[in-house]
């Protein structure tokens, strides 16, 4: 997990996204990126309002990770622009972007307890100890790890580590969270639990997230807005219904599979 500090507020807020006319926090225009002579991203256009999660669905190798790393400043772009809260990110170092990039590897600090990991960014900013304790206690309750506060990384399960990593990211207060299939290495039950928890905490703290996945169920559980990436190009859907009804996303095929399976059990 790569973390960067950000100056936005932590207080829980309503997750309102009824209006499509609101100003977008993230704007990506005509973005190209690649490696040497290989172009991976092709004129990508994305707009994401504050407090929402945009899902980018795509198969392995389609460019999802390159997109996230370009936004985070970990992969150079060859054309186009990335704006966060109206400010261009191109040319800024990763640590200056107010962005956190999370993948399937939690990368907790082994020498710190769960509570210390969660409050690490607040302590680094030298916030009052009482404020750190209050925020960490609130987060421990939210992720249901209160009784594990004093444990260290090696004493936690995979799902517990992911909860701690996500909680630490929230308290780092980024403007934007980038999630690169963060739950794909977990077992089915734990992955489902993490998807629901992610959705709940995004609403509670009004987080703005760009979440890439190849799993249609995960997309529908975690997303507010939806896009599909194919060979470096991004298609944005007008809403959940349009995403579901597009046969290329695979949602209808999955629905049909479970309907046929259920019918065969009757």
- Model confidence at 264, pLDDT cuts 50, 70, 90, reads confident
3-class state of residue 177 by DSSP: strand
pLDDT of res. 90? 87
- Model confidence at 260, pLDDT cuts 50, 70, 90, reads confident
Q: Considering just the CA atoms, what is the radius of gyration of the chain in Å? A: 19
CA atoms of 81 and 27, how far apart (whole Å): 8
Query: Is pLDDT of 19 > 70?
Result: no
In a domain, 16, yes or no: no
Number of neighbouring beta carbons within 10 Å of residue 129: 11
Which domain, by its residues, includes 258? Answer: 24-264
pLDDT of res. 147? 96
Could you give the maximum distance between any two Cα atoms of the chain, in Å? Answer: 62
Average pLDDT over residues 182-201: 89
Do 110 and 154 touch, CB atoms closer than 8 A?
A: yes
In a domain, 126, yes or no: yes
In a domain, 140, yes or no: yes
**Could you give the number of structural domains in the chain?**
1
In a domain, 224, yes or no: yes
Average pLDDT over residues 214-234: 95
| CA atoms within 13 A of residue 224's CA, in its CB half-sphere | 24
Per the DSSP assignment, residues forming a β-bridge with 100 are 177
CA atoms of 169 and 57, how far apart (whole Å): 23
pLDDT of res. 42? 95
Q: Which two tokens stand for residue 49?
A: 């309002």
Q: Over the stretch 116-144, which tens digit does the pLDDT of each residue have?
A: 999 999 999 999 999 999 999 999 999 99
In a domain, 5, yes or no: no
pLDDT of res. 8? 35
Query: Is pLDDT of 41 > 70?
Result: yes
Average pLDDT over residues 140-155: 95
User: Where residue 174 sits, what CATH number does that domain have?
Assistant: 3.40.50.300
Would you give the distance in Å from CA 73 to the centre of its chain? 16
In a domain, 40, yes or no: yes
In a domain, 33, yes or no: yes
* Backbone region of residue 126 per phi and psi (left: phi > 0; alpha: psi in -120 to 50; beta: other values): left
In a domain, 144, yes or no: yes
């Amino acid at each position: 997990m790569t973390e960067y500090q950000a100056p936005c507020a932590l207080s829980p807020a309503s997750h309102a996204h009824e209006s499509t006319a609101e100003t977008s926090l993230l704007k990506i225009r005509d973005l190209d990126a690649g490696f040497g002579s290989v172009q991976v991203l092709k004129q990508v256009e994305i707009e994401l309002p504050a407090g929402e999660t945009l899902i980018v669905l795509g198969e392995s190798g389609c460019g999802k990770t390159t997109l996230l790393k370009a936004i985070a400043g970990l992969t150079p772009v060859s054309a186009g622009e990335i704006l966060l809260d109206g400010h261009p990110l191109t040319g800024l170092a990763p640590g200056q972007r107010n962005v956190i990039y999370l993948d399937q590897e939690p990368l907790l600090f082994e020498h710190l307890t769960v509570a210390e990991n969660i409050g690490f960014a607040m302590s680094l900013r030298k916030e009052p100890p009482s404020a750190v304790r209050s925020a960490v206690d609130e987060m421990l309750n939210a992720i249901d790890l209160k009784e594990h506060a004093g444990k260290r990384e090696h004493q936690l399960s995979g799902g517990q580590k992911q909860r701690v990593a996500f909680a630490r990211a929230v308290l780092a207060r980024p403007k934007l969270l980038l999630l690169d299939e963060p739950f794909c290495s977990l077992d089915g039950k734990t992955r489902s639990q993490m998807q629901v928890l992610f959705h709940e905490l995004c609403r509670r703290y009004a987080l703005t997230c760009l979440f890439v996945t190849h799993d249609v169920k995960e997309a529908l559980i975690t997303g507010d807005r939806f896009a599909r990436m194919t060979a470096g190009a991004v298609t944005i859907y007008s809403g959940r219904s349009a995403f579901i009804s597009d046969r290329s996303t695979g949602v209808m095929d999955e629905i049909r599979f479970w309907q046929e399976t259920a019918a065969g059990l009757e």
